[in-house]
Copies of this chain bind each other. A is one copy, B any other.
Amino acid sequence: MSEPRLTHLDEAGHARMVDVGDKDTTRRVAVASAALVLRPDTARMLVEGRLPKGDAIATARIAGIMAAKRTPDLIPLCHVVSLSGVEVEVEVDVDAGRCRITATATAADRTGVEMEALVAASTTALTLYDMTKAVERGAVVEHVRLESKTGGVRGDWHRDGAA
C-alpha cells in the first residue's frame, strides 16, 4: 500500500463505526421520552378515536417499536444490536394538549441502546403527528431526550429531575 503521491483524506475527524469488539456483553436498558404538543381539541379527537386516518395511538406505538429495530439503518454509525425488548407508552393529557411518549429498549450487547430508545420515541411522536396533521398542521415534537441508561462500562446515567 505504498502509493507515494497520495492525498490522504482519512485523518482523524472522518466518520467511522468504532470497533466495540473488546467491550463486554452486558444487559443494557435505555429509556427515552418525547412529547407531541398539540391543541386540546386535537388531543380529544385523538383519545376518542375520531381522527380521519384512524387509531393514532396503536399505530404510533407499533411504528415506534418497528423503528427501534431499524435504528442501524437510520443512524449511520450505530451498531446492529440484538434488542431483547422494546416498549412504547403513550400518555395523553387532553387539557394540556400534550402526548407524552416513553420508550424503553433493552438488549444484552456490547453497545448501549440509547439510540434505539430515542428512535422509538421520536418515530412514535412523528407518527402521532402524521395521524393528526389533517386537523392540526402546527403540532410540535418537543423534548426528544434520553431519560436514563443502565449497563455498560461507563456506568449508569439518569437525567436530573426528569419529568
Contacts and interface: CB of A to CB of B under 8 A. Distances in A.
Nearest to A2: B163
A77 B13 CA distance: 22
Contacts of A144: 122, 125-126, 140-142, 144
A9 B62 contact: no
A21 B91 contact: no
A145 B140 CA distance: 5
12 contacts: A5-B95, A15-B53, A17-B83, A17-B85, A21-B106, A21-B107, A34-B141, A54-B77, A59-B77, A137-B149, A141-B141, A142-B143
Given A75-B130, A82-B82, 20 more contacts: A1-B163, A3-B96, A8-B91, A9-B91, A10-B61, A10-B89, A10-B91, A14-B54, A14-B61, A15-B56, A18-B85, A19-B87, A20-B84, A55-B58, A66-B66, A66-B76, A69-B73, A75-B123, A76-B127, A115-B130
